[in-house]
Amino acid sequence: MKFFIDTADINEIRDLAETGLVDGVTTNPSLIAKTGRDFITTVREIAGIVPGPVSAEVTATDHATMLKEGQKLARIARNIAVKVPLTRDGLKTCRRLSDDGVMVNVTLCFSAAQALLAAKAGASFVSPFVGRLDDVATDGMQLIQDIVQIYRQYPGIKTEVLVASVRGPLHVVAAAKMGAHVATLPPNVLRQMYAHPLTDKGLAAFLEDWKKTGQSILGAADGLGTEGGADKRAAE
């Protein structure tokens, strides 16, 4: 499963990208507005930090303007995925952009029927919002399972299921078990995934035992000097 980061915070993106665990970034006008920075400048900077897909969303609602905005966003960098809403005009725009070789992320998906339309429109990604469905007493993960099952029936479908509105690690694990291709995570959720009290407890015990030895790995001889270490390895 690929992990995208759902943020427009440059510092967060740089920090998490250094872990080697980030495959892409998703943004939207709301996330960028929170930074107080210029939209185009922010998208360009993010695309320069992360080599994988960076979703940048159009703000128009009609097809003609969406298409112009999408084409402009696609020119920012080669790894831009233009994000369009799952509406009639959004799907028309997706078809045009995907035919021109532009990656498209069709967002705000809330049904399997919508996801099927996104695939037929040539979307690179479809973004079902699991957390928002959970908020209205609907099983968001069931939607992921339905979409994955449908897509698997048709080898010609290349659209990747991008699980969005993720609220915690359990959403990620459940989506991975179902075979979803991507999860886009708020930075705090990615950090939660590598935190476990038993890991912390075990590490503390190991370090305490090591401290009692009075040794230092960096301060110890490496055995590769002229005292036979290298010679012994060569002889073996």
Q: State pLDDT tens for residues 159-173.
A: 999 999 999 999 999
Active-site residue numbers?
Answer: 83
Residue 151 sits in the same domain as residue 220? no
Q: Are residues 189 and 201 in the same domain?
A: no
Residues 120 and 215 in one domain: no
Per-residue confidence (pLDDT) for residue 117, from 0 to 100: 98
What is residue 99's predicted lDDT score, i.e. its pLDDT? 98
Q: Residues 178, 202: one domain?
A: no
* 8 and 38 part of one domain: yes
Predicted confidence (pLDDT) per residue in 119-140, tens digit: 999 999 999 999 999 999 999 9
Check whether residue 57 and residue 131 sit in a common domain.
Answer: yes
CATH number at residue 63: 3.20.20.70
pLDDT in tens, the chain (236 residues): 999 999 999 999 999 999 999 999 999 989 999 999 999 999 999 999 999 999 999 999 999 999 999 999 999 999 999 999 999 999 999 999 999 999 999 999 999 999 999 999 999 999 999 999 999 999 999 999 999 999 999 999 999 999 999 999 999 999 999 999 999 999 999 999 999 999 999 999 999 999 999 999 998 888 765 554 555 555 55
| Closest to 160 measured CA to CA, from 52, 65, 74, 18 | 52
Say whether both 205 and 187 belong to one domain.
no
* Shared domain check, 210 and 120: no
Number of domains in the chain: 2
Residue-level pLDDT at 54: 98
43 & 155 share domain: yes
Q: Which domain holds residue 220?
A: 197-235
Residues 126 and 139 in one domain: yes
What pLDDT is stored for residue 7 in this prediction?
A: 97
